[in-house]
Structure 1
Amino acid sequence: MKFDKPVTGGPCWAELGTTDLEATASTPASSAGGRRRTRARRWAVARRPASGTRRSPRSCRWARRSSPSPGYVTFAVADLDAALAKLRAAGGSVVREPGDVPGMGRFASAADPDGAPFHLWQDRGFAGAGLLNAPGTLGWVELAMRDTERARTFSTAVFGWSVTSSPQYTHFGVEGAEFGGMLAMNDMYPPEVPPHWLPYFAVEDVDASADAAAGAGAAIAMEPTTVPNGPRIAVLRDPQGAVFGVHREREKG
């Protein structure tokens, strides 16, 4: 991610879905300290809000399958109503109509034409994460999608993202500042796994973080690996099924 705080059009917050907030608090991704709420928990790094966990009902469609619990990625918008109008025109759907969070902002849940869920946030006092792309904070977001061409069209129409594509991967950016990407879902993904956003958290050492997560009861969904000309990454599944990635940017020079 090429910015260290939320910008309009980019990701401003991420939450992991879980059926057990207390158990999730013991995993390395949640070890920075938190503020407890009834259905959610907010985590801080250097006393700045960084990310959260949210209770997912066992009856939701993700929890009924042997697929990951959802990662809730939130994108910042300047005008929530205008963004939702663009979203509907581009074939997306509104899952939860806009609502006000007093003193903080306006919020809505949405999905793209293929059903990948995400949130939208309009800042009215709370911009989102106080720090991005630093150890322990959100550092990248990745969309797993089967119809990648439709996803590119939707993203540019709704958010105006810059798009850089190669046969292997698509990078998304805000005015060229990259914050995430898109991976085509191939035969490695079971048919029942729906399109989804996966948050990646920046860490000092991917291998050590994966080992620590495994020691806390998490499963390693993808072993640490170095992307050619890219970061070192791993994908983890916590004991409650929430899936997230960890990464360290490639050293420059």
Structure 2
Amino acid sequence: MSKMTAYREGMPCWVDLTCTDIGKAMAFYQGLFGWEYTDTGEAGGHYRLASMRGTRVAGLSPEPTASHPQWTTYLAADDADAVAERVRDSGGEVLLGPLDVLDQGRMAMAQDPAGALFGIWQARAHAGSGLANEPGSFTWNENLSDDPRTARNFYFQVFGYAYDEVPGLDYTVIKLHGAPVGGIGDLPPMLPPGSRSFWSTYFQVSDTDLAAARAAELGGEVVVPPTDSPYGRMSVLRDDSGAGFCIISPPRG
């Protein structure tokens, strides 16, 4: 089990789902991952904190008027205002904030020059996900872009990312202080022309085949069936409201 108490600037630290139907989303992910929920109440906009064994792993945000449900990746910031300024200076756009979230932290929502949305999170009482790289928690985040070169340059300017190329692919592993923390690559060819760049979230599962089958039973869609990769067995899913995400189980042996 990987317990997390702090995140270095630039690391993916939190994920949340914009929900058009909060009850439907809660039931789906409880059935898939076993999440339990805490309602933050009226002061917190009834944002739900999803937990595994009492430890926060993700959020669900009720947005009944949202155009479509989607998962958002938040990148850790030592100073959200300074990061927001670098976003603007580097050709991105700050869409919301920075603003305080009760006593939990300071956040902003931003968009990179290729159109991918992401969050900025400066921790206070809430550091981010308390678990990583174990079933039911996020384990990998990647920026899938219609302009990976521009995206890499942008995130280098904002967070100082270093990159390792993956041979044969227009894909690079993001490194911070020498450690891999995410990836940047091309938009998947399965997407329709004109699709917008986005940050994708991978959740770890114990058995990808069983989890994909369970997602389908819960009303979700298996977009890419379970497939072996050098990093584990993975599948691309949509939940029962259409929000896309990935699951992966570590390589055996």
Normalising by structure 2, we get a TM-score of 0.89
* Matched ranges for 1:104-253 at <5 A: 104-166=104-166, 167-168=168-169, 169-185=171-187, 187-227=189-229, 229-251=230-252
Cα offsets for 1:185-221 (capped at 9, x unmatched): 2542212421111111111111111011111111101
Task: For 2:153, give the aligned amino acid.
Answer: T
Aligned identity (percent) is 32
Using the alignment, how far apart are the partners of 1:193 and 1:55 within structure 2? 24
* Matched ranges for 1:41-52 at <5 A: 41-52=48-59
Task: For 2:38, give the aligned amino acid.
Answer: R
Task: For 1:42, give the aligned amino acid.
Answer: L
Instruction: Give me the CA root mean square deviation.
Output: 1.8
Deviation at 1:88, TM superposition (A): 1.1
Using the alignment, how far apart are the partners of 1:151 and 1:56 within structure 2? 28
For these two proteins, the number of residue pairs brought into alignment is 242
Larger relative contact order (CA 8 Å, sep ≥ 6): 1
Deviation at 1:30, TM superposition (A): 5.0
Deviation at 1:251, TM superposition (A): 4.0
Using the alignment, how far apart are the partners of 2:73 and 2:52 within structure 1? 18
Point out 4+ residue stretches in structure 1 off by more than 2 angstroms: 3-6, 28-31, 36-40, 55-60, 249-252
**Which runs of no fewer than 5 residues in structure 1 stay unpaired?**
64-68
**Which runs of no fewer than 5 residues in structure 2 stay unpaired?**
none
Task: For 1:123, give the aligned amino acid.
Answer: A
Alignment match, 2:38: 35
Using the alignment, how far apart are the partners of 2:233 and 2:65 within structure 1? 33
Question: Is contact 1:70–1:196 with CA below 8 Å preserved after alignment?
Answer: no
Question: Is contact 1:226–1:232 with CA below 8 Å preserved after alignment?
Answer: yes
* Matched ranges for 1:82-93 at <5 A: 82-93=82-93
